[in-house]
Amino acid sequence: MELTGAEIIIECLKAEDIDYVFGYPGGAVLHIYDAFYKQDDVQHILVRHEQGATHAADGYARATGKPGVVLVTSGPGATNAVTGIATAYMDSIPMIVITGQVPKHLIGNDAFQEVDSVGITRPIVKHNFLINDVNDIAETFKKAFYVATTGRPGPVVIDIPKDITAEKVAFEYPSEINMRSYNPAVVADEGQIKKAVELMVKAERPMIYSGGGVIIGNGSEQLRTFTRSLGYPITQTLMGLGAFPASDPLSVGMLGMHGTYEANMGMHHSDLLIAIGARFDDRVTGALEKFCPDAKIIHIDIDPASISKNVKVDVPIVGEVTQVLDAVNALLEKAAEKTNKGAIEKWWAQINEWRAQDCLKYDRESEIIKPQFVIEELHKVTNGDAYITSDVGQHQMFAAQYYGFDKPRRWINSGGLGTMGFGLPAALGVKLAFPNEEVACITGESSIQMCLQELSTCKQYGLPIKIINLNNGYMGMVRQWQEFFYEKRYAMSYFDALPDFVALAESYGHVGIKVEKTADVRPALEEAFKQKDRLVFLDFITDREENVYPMIPSGAGLNEMILV
């Protein structure tokens, strides 16, 4: 039987087991929307802005591990999606973005709502396609999903001219795909693994530094076995939180610009760094010339281009995290007992001394609400088990520092690109994937306004997420930098006119609660989570000039932190 291009697209999504598509209609995709209308297998979630669609699909992908799918129209539809595509690209999130395009004969003609979507998105996708022939749709989709979800994952854009979606052709979805130019399957070198294990056993001041790759590669179990069999300290990046439980005594917390004292000092003084699925980002390393001066470095990563990109590595291991750590763990079954117990004991004593600094302390007696306190109370009210999305800024760092993630895929934030506006739509995507789990979006009064319109989407689909708005009236992180480095000249980092967030939430049909006193934080949170079927917008009026500590100023080394 012959199907239209639009119907073929739906069939491809069904074949890939896609349950939700996040999108927004427009001229170039009307045939596809018509095909959506005629079926019930794939549910379309109508967002209020294409950026919201990409973040929602992204949140869905981060929480489930499945690819998120986006459908937008040509021109502004595609350009509005760009921020979300770049967000997913920076954090290696599998995503398929279908962009409508003007009919083939108009391409290059400056037609209405025409942009070169493939050209615009080229540097922010793992790969992209412009389909020229209805016969190519099925194979292109197969390739797109294959590329997006294998190796180091990433977003793939498929640009489809409108005329093709109306043409008819027989449909057959390829059962497998072979691309001569793309071979993501890598088997790690055994010799390298042995060499790494030898170094691990001999280490006197080891530090495990794990990143988002462990979560994306579903390597949490292996990481736990690995870390516990060695009994070495582990620090995790912003993207890696939850792969190893924060509550485990082996965890020394997050590292980097706003990492803990013990994590950063441990990194700096280590003699062996075991990097797993982490990419030595500048927010993690601080000044490169001062980075881990005494350490030999083992780096396990799926992407060869991540190896020795910023920091020269001694033992590179390219492979899937699960496969590599399984192999390492097998060797450690015998080798782990040979570790240098005396040295490791001394090392832990040193780390515990750093830990005693209590670098995350803050004024818990304050009557003015401390943002840190809200996060700690949120942890208690949700038993530390909620899916937490965040926007970008101080609240994001407070969430990373104080929520204490014990499970992977629970902490969903834009780490690489740092996209304000990510949190709310991402939470929407997570809640669709896990309707019975608690989902909270930790945000600030500046970030939330960047994708605020998605409150309407939440209403339409009945998504009772909880919004934790840490409202200090400033773009907090910008203000903090201005305080530290620009002599408190707060240029453009505050709003003269903020909305009444309670009234705003109510106008969208949600519940709004304003909280102004520390004593009211806990009851307000409890009340919010009691309302199982309502979105509750909690507007916490917090200390206006609280700062995120510790902090490593740019150009400084990991041992040069500013403490409280």
Q: Which of 119, 191, 523, 555 binds another protein (CB under 8 A)?
A: 119
Annotated active-site residue in 16, 50, 445, 546:
50
Q: Of 126 and 409, which CB lies nearer to another protein in the complex structure?
A: 126
**326/141 Cα distance (integer angstroms):** 32
Q: Which is nearer to another protein, 105 or 312 (CB)?
A: 312
Cβ closer to another protein: 146 or 405? 146
CA separation for the pair 390, 423 (Å, rounded): 4
Both tokens of 256, joined, read: 């980097």
Catalytic residue flag (residue 112): yes
Q: How far is CA 57 from CA 124, 254, 428, 524, in A?
A: 16, 26, 9, 30
With left for phi above 0 and alpha for psi between -120 and 50, is residue 541 left, alpha or beta?
Answer: beta
DSSP state letters, 369-428: BPHHHHHHHHHHHTTT-SEEEE-SSHHHHHHHHHS---STT-EE---SS--TT-HHHHHH
Options 123, 175, 334, 436; binder of another protein; rule CB under 8 A: 123
| Interface residue with another protein, options 12, 147, 234, 450 (CB under 8 A) | 147
Mark whether 39 is an active-site residue.
no
Nearest approach in angstroms of CB 304 to another protein is 5
Q: Which of 112, 484, 485, 495 is catalytic?
A: 112
Q: Give the C-alpha separation, 512 to 144, whole Å.
A: 41
Site string for another protein, 159-188 (x = CB under 8 A): --------------------xxxx------
Rounded Cα gap, residues 401 and 414, in angstroms? 15
Contact 548, 397 (CB under 8 A): yes
Interaction of residue 192 with another protein, rule CB under 8 A:
no
Which of 126, 142, 162, 431 is an active site residue?
A: 162
- Is 89:155 a contact under the CB 8 Å cutoff? yes
Q: What is the 3-class SS of 58-86, one letter each residue?
A: HHHHHHHCCCEEEEECCCHHHHHHHHHHH
Residues 6+ apart with CB under 8 A from 213: 92, 152, 219, 240, 276, 277, 278, 279, 301, 302, 321
Q: What residues form DSSP beta bridges with 69?
A: 96
494 binds another protein (CB under 8 A): no
Q: Which is nearer to another protein, 305 or 330 (CB)?
A: 305
Each residue 272-311 as x (binds another protein by CB under 8 A) or -, in order, gives -------------------------------xxx-xxx--
Site string for another protein, 62-91 (x = CB under 8 A): ------------------------------
For position 96 contacting another protein by CB under 8 A, the verdict is no
Catalytic-role residue among 39, 113, 192, 357: 113
- Binding to another protein (CB under 8 A) within 302-361 occurs at 303-305, 307-309, 312
Tell me if residue 293 falls in helix, strand or coil.
coil
Shortest distance in whole angstroms from residue 451 CB to another protein: 26
Alpha carbon 302 to its chain's center: 18
Which residue, 305 or 356, is less far from another protein as judged by CB? 305
DSSP code for 509: T
Q: Which among 115-123, 283-291, 411-419, 439-447 is the span making contact with another protein, rule CB under 8 A? A: 115-123
Least separation, in Å, of the C-beta of 199 and another protein?
A: 22
118 binds another protein (CB under 8 A): yes
Decide if 13 contacts 173 (C-beta within 8 A): no
Instruction: State the minimum distance, in angstroms, from the CB of residue 85 to another protein.
Output: 15
Judged by CB under 8 A, how many residues of this single chain contact another protein?
Answer: 20
Q: Closest CB to another protein among 188 and 257?
A: 188
Q: Please report how close the Cβ of residue 123 comes to another protein at its closest, in angstroms.
A: 5
The residues pairing with 412 across neighbouring beta strands, listed in sequence order, are 389
**Residue 204 in tokens:** 């006197």
Any contact of residue 126 with another protein (CB under 8 A)? yes
Considering the complex, what minimum distance in angstroms separates the CB of residue 239 from another protein?
Answer: 19
Residue 124 or residue 397: which is nearer to another protein going by CB? 124
* Closest approach of another protein to the CB of residue 203, in Å: 26
Beta-strand relationship, 155-161 and 127-130: parallel
| Dihedrals phi, psi of 443, to nearest 5 degrees | -145, -175
Stretch that binds another protein, among 63-71, 117-125, 280-288, 443-451 (CB under 8 A): 117-125
* Catalytic choice (90, 207, 267, 477): 477
Helix boundaries (H) for 155-219: 162-166, 190-202, 212-216
Report helix, strand or coil for 350.
Answer: helix
Query: Which residues of this protein are in contact with another protein, per CB under 8 A?
Result: 118-119, 122-123, 126-128, 130, 147, 179-182, 303-305, 307-309, 312
- Kindly list the catalytic residues: 50, 112-113, 162, 477
